Chains A and B, each alone.
Chain A
Amino acid sequence: MAYKGRLPTDNHNVSHQQPAKELLLLGSALMLATVLIYLLLGLLIDRVVSSLDPELEYKWFGHFATAPNQPGAQQQALQQLTNQLQQCSTMTYPVQLHFVEQNISNASVLPGGIMLVYQGLLKQVNSENALSFVLAHELAHLEHRDHLRGLGRSLVLASLVYGVTGSSNASQWFMPATELGLAQHSQQRELAADAKALMILHCHYGHTGGAEDFFKAMQQQSSSALPDWFDSHPALSKRLAQLALLQQQQGYPVKDATPLPDMLQP
């Protein structure tokens, strides 16, 4: 029989399914599984952090940063103020304050009771009470172990994203989703720290005057009109509203604030 060439009528080597459907199906299943694992691990971290002895934490992390041999006058004054405020909190281990000469209006805490206070912060506070509120807020973070929670959650998230996508760069693509997850948790912790800071302020000074000064100063500077869903911190207006509400509910008196000591004048 002679050969006669002809083309096949059908192509059985390719599937005729919609690729977009496959992406949606696989993507949403994966997303759901990741969110579930993240939530579960987040709860686990909360449990572990709550049961981690503060003394142990201090032992592990407390010596990561060593204080300068000759602390400056500002550092000493801030450390003294922090120590006084600490008496109003339930923190059991010493807080090591580091004064960072950078023009950033912020303060933060690290595991092991290390508190960083940036020089720029002093320009934003107009009284000792306003400064104390920021320090008390950081103390509250240490007391609530928020630094460990945040660290733990970020680690879980980074490893999840890496595990799922196989790329450490991929976390950038999913940044909005991951930040949303972290942000909602973080905003709650910030509000809780604000409430505790107000309590410490009331305990130390007998009134809560000047508590809102720092937020007000920041509010004048920031012009961000974006919604705060992705921010690690709640909107300043929300924080100010909470302070006012707490002052009213708890009956905290508001009196004139103490001026900043000369040493801490910017």
Chain B
Amino acid sequence: MIAFLGFITLLLLGFFVGRYLESRHFSSIRQREAELVVLPNTSSRYQLIPMQQIERSELVTGSVVISIDYFKRIVAGLRSLIGGPVQSYETLLDRARREAILRMKESCPGACQIINVRVETSSIYNAAGNGIGSVELLAYGTAIYGQVQATNGL
């Protein structure tokens, strides 16, 4: 009985606290994305914005590890029995992806653009225990510093 009450408590805790923390994280992500929209990034190896003069370029990285809450893990576990899109993991990965890119951008203040951006993921998982169920997202690219070529209309 105690174990069952513990299960219910964890489920409710995961649902309410997890939802609150997630919405807070998302609003922080949206705000920072709006602020950093001036620093463009691309997966292409060509410059997105033509540069008049390149001062230097460097490798920049941004990585984040995010864990899912208990509630989501249970829903995902139930979903895995019958298959279909695991919706409870979607927000986890979306958060992690956007946070990693934001951290990468924040790591290079003054850069004009980041090219060659790659995003990689790995799961941090404890197979022997009950599975921690966290995901690591790593974003990296080449930040370019210098002077942007003046273009008409910009």
Contacts and interface: CB of A to CB of B under 8 A. Distances in A.
Interface residues of B, number: 34
B37 A2 contact: no
A249 interface: no
Contacts of A173: 3-4, 6-7
B13 interface: no
Interface stretch (A13-21, A109-117, A123-131, A142-150): A13-21
Contacts of B78: 22-23, 26-27, 30
B130 interface: yes
A5 interface: yes
Interface in A1-15: 2-3, 5-7, 11, 13-15
Chain A interface residue number, banded: 20 to 34
B120 interface: no
Interface string A51-88: 00000000000000000000000000000000000000
Contacts of B54: none
B3 A175 contact: yes
A167 B153 CA distance: 63
A167 B130 CA distance: 9
A205 interface: no
Given A19-B75, A175-B3, A26 B82 contact: yes
Interface string B1-39: 101101100000001000000000000000001100111
A19 B4 CA distance: 21
A20 B82 CA distance: 17
A227 to B, nearest CB: 12
B151 A2 contact: yes
Interface string B67-86: 00001101101110110010
A172 B10 CA distance: 14
Contacts of A17: 87
Given A19-B75, A30-B81, A164-B81, A172 B3 contact: yes
A26 B75 contact: yes
B94 A13 contact: yes
Nearest to B42: A3
B75 A15 contact: no
A206 interface: no
Contact of B77 (A5, A11, A165): A165
Nearest to B78: A26
B109 interface: no
25 contacts: A2-B49, A3-B48, A6-B37, A7-B33, A13-B93, A14-B90, A14-B91, A14-B94, A15-B85, A15-B87, A17-B87, A19-B15, A19-B71, A19-B75, A19-B88, A22-B78, A22-B87, A23-B74, A26-B78, A26-B82, A164-B81, A172-B3, A174-B4, A175-B1, A176-B1
Interface of B: 1, 3-4, 6-7, 15, 33-34, 37-40, 48-49, 71-72, 74-75, 77-79, 81-82, 85, 87-88, 90-91, 93-94, 130, 151, 153-154
* Closest 4 pairs between A and B when the two form their complex, measured CB to CB: A172-B3, A26-B78, A173-B7, A15-B87
Interface of A: 2-3, 5-7, 11, 13-15, 17, 19-20, 22-23, 26-27, 30, 164-167, 172-176, 230
Given A2-B154, A15-B87, A22-B75, 11 more contacts: A2-B151, A5-B38, A13-B94, A14-B90, A19-B75, A19-B87, A22-B78, A23-B75, A26-B82, A174-B4, A176-B4
